[in-house]
Structure 1
Amino acid sequence: MRKFCFALILLPMLLSGCHRRPGPTNTVTVLIESSPTNLDPRIGVDAPSERIDMLLFDALVHRDKHFGIEPWLAERWETPDPQTYVFHLHQGIHFTDGRTLTSRDVKWTIDSILNGTVVTVKANGYQSIASIDTPDRLTVIFHLKRPDSSFLWNLCDGASGIVPYGSGADFWRHPIGSGPFKLVSQAQDRDVLISRNPAYWQAPPRLQEVRFAVVPDATTRALELQKGSADLAINAFPSDMVAALARNNNLIVESGPGTILNYITFNTRDPLLRDIRVRQAIALAINRPLIIQSLFDGRARLAESLLPPEHWAWTAEVEHHPYNPQAANALLDRAGHPRDSRGTRFHIAMKTSTDETTRLLAMVLQQQLAAVGIQLDLRSFEFATFYADITRGAFQMAPSRWIGGNEAPDIFRYSYAKASFPPHGANRGYYENPEVDRLLADAAASSQQTKQAQDYQQIQQIVAHDLPTIDLWYLDTVAVHTRRLKNLTISPSGDFNGLRTAFVH
């Protein structure tokens, strides 16, 4: 019914042919759901902040297509031992105000995070750093207190960006980077305007300006695109809106494999859910292919790990849980949960946010679990209340998702280590496995990617059996854009890096 009503409202406008182009010819307008909270790359952690920062700032290192780390501002680096990293910077890189980027700027960026010049949650990612030396203008040496497998990841684009020496707490008002674009203006709850950096040290962008317009409502975003007052929106619509927009001849819908992961968390301290057989039965009772087709119009991939399949540490050699209600019933019988006269084995409460797609998913899960005798009692809360309950363990089951965080293998420590119980991490289901903790420590002690991959693959095999969480699917990255926008590449992460090479015609 929701899809039908939306189509009735939107389709006449899509077919009307009424459209106008935004602003100057070489300017594009990108729709975002909310304003960036802080365009200082040392501080902003929300998606709009990090994605715009990636266009304004450069990092020491860069993620490749397999989520490995490759040189960026640093043309190379050496690791004499697991606790020492020596970076050699490219020569002749400048900030957009003309200042030369040197090792002093790199040291200041990290020191200002650690010494409290800026107050930021990102400081947690750099606690392994003991000191930073700058023997010359192009060399930076990091000395670590202990081996840290996530160290390079915390220095890459999205997680980090180099700011000029002396940048203080108010830097976010007029941020200056070395990226392909520079900031022109920002207005809270309205827009952010950036312009081309013609002196960029790599190939400069072809777009003259990009305006990020804040439009919280999905229907309004759809209407802005169809009438031509906006050019692009990424991962901004439910599947029914995407289908309607695809029928507009002035728009193009492009999609590709994404990394946003939907999953279910179990409270493993719960008397029912502490039994692995119950968790496994729930996984077998969920018809994931049907949900992907019905709720997401097929724009998702089945998941059996936190990491996306393209990741260097991912493995397919894990225990799978295909839809099998017969096997689910057998497991529940063996676990000592017979059906009562009404066919119910037991009740489980599932807390959700008020997000519409999440609530729809919860209702589908309720129906599917009922088929194996599990009564799912749904409780919806505003996000702040929902998140507070999840972080203090006041839940039995809860749906959630990872956006970007699951691209770094350190996600296993953050999600499954005993040391990551809230408030120290995201092990909100209080899962404990000494072998997982041992493998995490072993991976952290090595600087060799091959050895780390072996440890992370064993961790994936263990958690695929224990099921502290059920990894459901990776949502596709879906971009809807006007035909005037050309050469746009789609990032699995859903970021805006494709604007580096795009142009209008």
Structure 2
Amino acid sequence: MTTNGEMAMRFKTALMAGAFALMASFAQAQTGPTLRVGMAAQDIGRIDPHFAVSTPDRVLVSWMFNGLVRFKPGSIDPAGIEPDLAQSWESSPDGKVWTFRLRPGVKFHGNFGELTADDVVFSLNKAANPQTSASSADFRAFQSVEALDPLTVRITLRENVPSLLGLVTAYAGGYIVSRRAVEERGADFSRNPIGTGPFALDRVTPNQSAELVAHAGYFRGAPQIGRISYRFIPSDASRDLAFQARELDLNYGRADQAWVNRTKQVPNTVVDVFEPGELTILNLNTSMPPFNDIRIRQAFAHAVNRPEMVRWRGPDVSREGQSLVPRGYLGFTADNGLLPFDLARARALLAEAGHPNGITIRAIHTQLPEMLSGMQVIQAQLRRAGITLDLQVVEHATFHQQIRQNLSPLVYYAAARFPIADIYLSQFFHSRSIVQTPTAVTNFSHCNVADAQIDAARVEVDQASQIRLWHEAQRLLLQNVCGVPVIETLLVFARRDNLDYGYELRGSMSLGPLITETTRLR
């Protein structure tokens, strides 16, 4: 027989158990599950968002930072840019003065307080400074950035730009950082940054992983994912095995038809192929032998077989590069004089330049598997024309450092930028962007033949005239063989079918899926 006291004790125990279960359930809802991501990288690079230039770094910082405005998740359509840290904005009739009103109560990660206009002013000035940003050239037209009050920012331009919203979107130099964190952490900020995004950096274990935690105070609401384990697995085979063993939920894929076909057969797997196409260009240093001879540059261009590159990558994941600006960008033209594949002409030009028995060219290149395999295919193509490519393979971060020190006459570079011709042309082919100059960005070719057209297009208010100038710039650059467009490679990730992004993934300027407050593991 059970006494009243025993019954009371059992009832109390049941209540306590229920309470603990409720608390555990609440805690689980607060922390959420861990998303395990496999990335093709040996280690993290610089995750100060204004220096994040490699794909592994770009993907990561997009989860930690916001801009004044943003692309809608899953889109790269500039017409769909929407509010982010700014809740509204307006411009003067002449387009040179822009006023942004910030959301109140936006919190930085950790104990770094609330976002104010001072943080925005600091961030945009930091982005415009070549000492503190890889995107400084984008902000050349900025005359001033001012805080009118704690929640209002005014940007004044010296001259019109093709897209002011494109410069302050949540991408590259548009990311907003905590002024206090930058000033307190100094050089350590590049490995321990503070933003306002849905996830905050917890720790980095070198050569292993970066661990992120949900930002419970995120202004759009606490994320449903509790943690992200961003694991550095440079070997494609190792990442694939980890994904197949269900040790990863999201896997950086290969832009390779066989890989896509094979991965689609893995049970409970979705393969996402999305924009933008990263345009691979072979940048030829026109100031350095042997490419200071235009005949060598022309021979090199004629030796590159773009249709073969697409057959190698696969039609679902790639397309031929048709210009020094990617397809689909505002201002792109295929009517530009691009030299066609022609081995006989390549050999004749080499002979004319004094190399009838061929030539050897030494180039520094990354060990990143996807880029290395692409360069090896090009290496085989060049050999057929008598061009021997001697590859000096280095770790990816070292590759980025050395190509910016002007140590390689040939630079293989794959990139996607804001989808208008100006930014691509300005960063890769304007003299202000030549590497080892105070305003360096990614002009590895040392070309300056289209400066006038690029500059005129930036301030042209008539769009038809602006587009004509961009077309002319592409023709001049290709006529001088400043670079050889090769292939546009779409982005590929594989995920478990229980990973729901919370939006339809059609494109991402961060080069990877955005993980937001709506993303969940079902």
Q: Distance in 2 between matches of 1:128 and 1:50?
A: 24
- Deviates most, 217-226 or 77-86: 77-86
Moved more, 235-244 or 459-468: 235-244
Closer/same/farther in 2, CA of residues 393 and 27 from structure 1, 3 Å limit: closer
| Identity across matched positions, percent | 20
Letter in structure 2 aligned against 1:503: R
- Distance in structure 1 (CA, Å) of the matches to 2:400 and 2:226: 40
Mapped pair 1:226 → 2:234:
no
1:440 aligns with 2:451: no
**Shift, 1:470, TM fit:** 0.5
Are residue 70 (structure 1) and residue 101 (structure 2) matched?
Answer: no
Q: How do 1:4-153 and structure 2 match up within 5 A?
A: 26-32=33-39, 33-42=41-50, 44-63=52-71, 65-67=76-78, 70-72=81-83, 73-74=85-86, 75-81=88-94, 83-91=96-104, 93-95=106-108, 100-111=114-125, 119-121=132-134, 126=139, 128-144=141-157, 152-153=165-166
How big is the shift at 1:459?
1.3
Instruction: Please report how far the alpha carbon of residue 235 of structure 1 lies from its aligned counterpart in structure 2 after TM superposition.
Output: 4.0
Contact 2:281 2:483 in 1 (8 A): yes
Q: Does 1:491 align with 2:503?
A: no
If the length of structure 2 is used for normalisation, what is the TM-score?
Answer: 0.75
Distance 2:242 2:393 in 1: 30
Instruction: Give the conservation status (yes or no) of the 8 Å contact 2:330–2:419.
Output: no
Work out whether residues 201 and 213 of structure 2, in 8 Å CA contact, stay in contact via their aligned partners in 1: yes
After TM superposition, list the pairs within 5 Å mapping 1:174-189 onto structure 2: 176-189=194-207
- Aligned mate of 1:332, from 349, 353, 356: 349
Distance 1:87 1:306, change over 3 A: farther
Is residue 428 from structure 1 mapped to residue 482 from structure 2 by the alignment?
A: no
SS state at 1:207 partner: coil
Q: Structure 2 counterpart of 1:430, which letter?
A: H
1:214 and 1:365, CA in 2 relative to 1: closer, same or farther beyond 3 A? closer
2:390 pairs with 1:378: yes
Work out the CA distance in 2 between the residues paired with 1:37 and 1:410.
23
Q: CA offset at residue 217 of structure 1? A: 3.2
Aligned to 2:381: 368
The number of residue pairs the alignment matches comes to 471
Q: Distance in 2 between matches of 1:271 and 1:211?
A: 45
- Distance apart, 1:142 and its partner CA: 2.0
1:197 and 1:271 map into 2 onto residues whose CA distance is: 52
1:300 aligns with 2:308: no
Distance 1:479 1:407 in 2: 21
Corresponding residue number in structure 1 for 2:495: 481
Structure 1 length as normaliser, TM-score? Answer: 0.77
> In terms of mean alpha carbon deviation, does 153-162 or 118-127 score higher?
118-127
Distance change (3 Å), C-alpha of 1:203 and 1:177: same
Cα deviation 1:260-284 (Å, max 9, x = unaligned): 2222122324676455555344333
Q: Match of 2:183, SS? A: coil
Unmatched 5+ stretches in structure 2: 1-30
Superimposed CA distance per residue, residues 153-175 of structure 1 (whole angstroms, 9 cap, x where no aligned partner): 44221223223453333454875
* Deviations 1:2-22, CA, capped at 9 Å, x for gaps: xxxxxxxxxxxxxxxxxxxxx
Which deviates the most, 129-138 or 37-46? 37-46
1:293 to 1:132, Cα distance in 2 relative to 1, 3 A? same
The more displaced of 190-199 and 134-143 is 190-199
Match of 1:191 in 2: 209
| Amino acid of the structure 2 residue aligned with 1:194 | L
Unaligned 5+ runs, structure 1? 1-23
Q: Note the 1:218-257 alignment, pairs <5 A.
A: 218-235=236-253, 244-257=262-275
What is the CA-CA distance between 1:497 and the residue it aligns to? 1.1
SS in 2 for 1:166: helix
Displacement after TM superposition at 1:484 (Å): 2.1
Structure 1 equivalent of residue 520 of structure 2: 503
